[in-house]
Amino acid sequence: MQLPYTVDDDQAAIEAVGAEINRPDPARWQAMTTGDDRLRQTYRVLGQLIKQVEVAFTKRKAVLRAFRGPRPDYHQAVAVYEEWKSRTVHFANCARARRGELEDRVRRINQHDTLNRMATALQTLTQAVADHRDAIRSGSREETAADRMLWLRLELSPYAARQNHMAATTSTAGPQKPRPTTCRRGQPHTTATSPERKP
């Protein structure tokens, strides 16, 4: 199902998710929660809806407390508020339940992204230290104890160990021939030259 708003249009998403809570549609909900960006957006928007409800409660209560007028009018205002409160509490409970369904999935995505950022930062730092070592060894400056200590930490880093292992495996195994696979029409092709199938 194609949603009528983009992943960076939270205003439109708020309206769509609110409509989904009031009138559930399994196909629409699946579209709202499929893909990392859509899932994050829907989770974020549900939180915004819940905050809007909390703000609305504060305002409506303040208006009712400040009401000045004949007693019958006050009773009418209370009845209107209670009717609104009943519908709004139900809406808020549904929004919280929907958000709770997504919480674990969003947490896993965020953890994965955090680990990727940390790995990238470690890779960048490791490469910078390696460049520093190579520059000193190829230059005229003498190595210092601090240099050697820094390089030792580089050699002990998980990223450097993995890179060294990959380099050793490649040099001992030699170039690998791509294995042919079978096309739909029975024509062999290699995994090295065939385009990836888009999901």
Q: Are 45 and 13 in contact (CB under 8 A)?
A: yes
* CA atoms of 155 and 62, how far apart (whole Å): 65
* CA atoms of 16 and 45, how far apart (whole Å): 10
* CA atoms of 179 and 166, how far apart (whole Å): 20
The pLDDT profile of the chain, 199 residues, written as one tens digit per residue, is 889 999 999 999 999 999 999 999 999 999 999 988 999 999 999 999 999 999 999 999 999 999 888 988 999 999 999 999 999 999 999 999 999 999 989 888 877 666 666 667 667 776 777 776 777 777 767 778 877 777 777 776 665 555 554 445 544 444 444 343 333 433 333 333 333 444 4
